[in-house]
A and B are shown apart, each in its own frame.
Chain A
Amino acid sequence: MPEVRHFLAYGHSDQATFRAAAVQESFDYLTVPGTIASYYPDATAAFVLTSRVEYVIDPRTPLFQGFIGIPRASHFTLAAWHGDRVAEHLGDSQHRTSVSFSADFYDRNSVGLLVDSVIQAQRTYGQRAPAIQQKLDRYRRLLATAQGRVIQATPEERRPPAFVIAPYFVTDGHDRWAEVNDQIIERCLDLPDARSISAMIAVDSVARLRQRFAAVPGELAPTTFFWVHSFNERSVPESELRSMWSTVLDLAQERPIVNFYGGFFSICMGKIGLWGFNNGLGYSESRDWPDLSATGAAPARYYMRPLHAYVAPSLGQFITERLPAWACDCPVCAGRRVVALTYHDLKRHFALSRRWEIDLVAGTTLDQLASTLADAAQRYEADVAPMVPPGTQRFDVSYLRRWASVLRRP
Chain B
Amino acid sequence: MSKRKEVIQTEAAMVIALTRSIRRMFGRHADHATEVSAHGRSRTDICVFVDGQLIAIEAKLSNRRRAIGQAFFNRYYADQSYIAVLERHITHGLTEDARKWELGILAISGKGASIAIPAPISRPDLDLRARVIGSVFA
Name A residues whose Cβ lies closer than 8 Å to a Cβ of B. 299-302, 312-315, 317-318, 336-337, 339-340, 342, 388-392
Contact = CB atoms under 8 A, between A and B. Distances in A.
A340 B65 contact: no
How many interface residues does chain B have, given as a range? 20 to 34
B70 interface: yes
B97 interface: yes
Contact of A318 (B68, B73, B77): B73
B41 interface: yes
Contact of A340 (B63, B68, B101, B127): B127
A312 B42 contact: yes
B63 A391 contact: yes
Contact of A314 (B65, B76, B97): B76
A408 to B, nearest CB: 34
A320 to B, nearest CB: 12
A336 B66 CA distance: 27
A336 B127 contact: yes
B128 A391 contact: no
Nearest to B74: A314
Contact of B72 (A299, A342, A389): A389
A301 B39 CA distance: 9
B52 interface: no
A302 B41 CA distance: 11
Interface string B62-85: 011111111011001100000000
Interface of B: 39-42, 63-70, 72-73, 76-77, 97, 101, 125, 127-128, 131
A391 B65 contact: yes
A390 B41 contact: no
Majority SS at the chain B contact face: helix
B45 to A, nearest CB: 15
Majority SS at the chain A contact face: loop
Given A300-B41, A314-B40, A339 B65 contact: no
9 A-B pairs with least C-beta separation:
A391-B66, A391-B69, A314-B73, A391-B65, A392-B69, A389-B69, A390-B65, A389-B72, A340-B127
Given A299-B40, A391-B63, 12 more contacts: A299-B41, A312-B40, A314-B76, A317-B76, A318-B73, A339-B39, A388-B69, A389-B73, A389-B101, A390-B65, A390-B66, A391-B64
20 contacts: A299-B40, A300-B40, A302-B40, A312-B39, A312-B40, A312-B42, A314-B39, A336-B127, A337-B76, A337-B127, A339-B125, A339-B128, A340-B125, A389-B73, A389-B101, A390-B66, A390-B68, A390-B69, A391-B63, A392-B73
A313 B40 contact: yes
A340 B72 contact: no
B40 to A, nearest CB: 4
A390 B63 CA distance: 10
Contacts of B66: 390-391
A237 to B, nearest CB: 28
Given A336-B127, A340-B128, A314 B42 contact: yes
Contacts of A340: 125, 127-128
Contacts of B41: 299-300, 312
A301 B40 contact: yes
Contacts of A315: 73
Contacts of B76: 314, 317, 337, 339
B133 to A, nearest CB: 14
Nearest to B103: A389
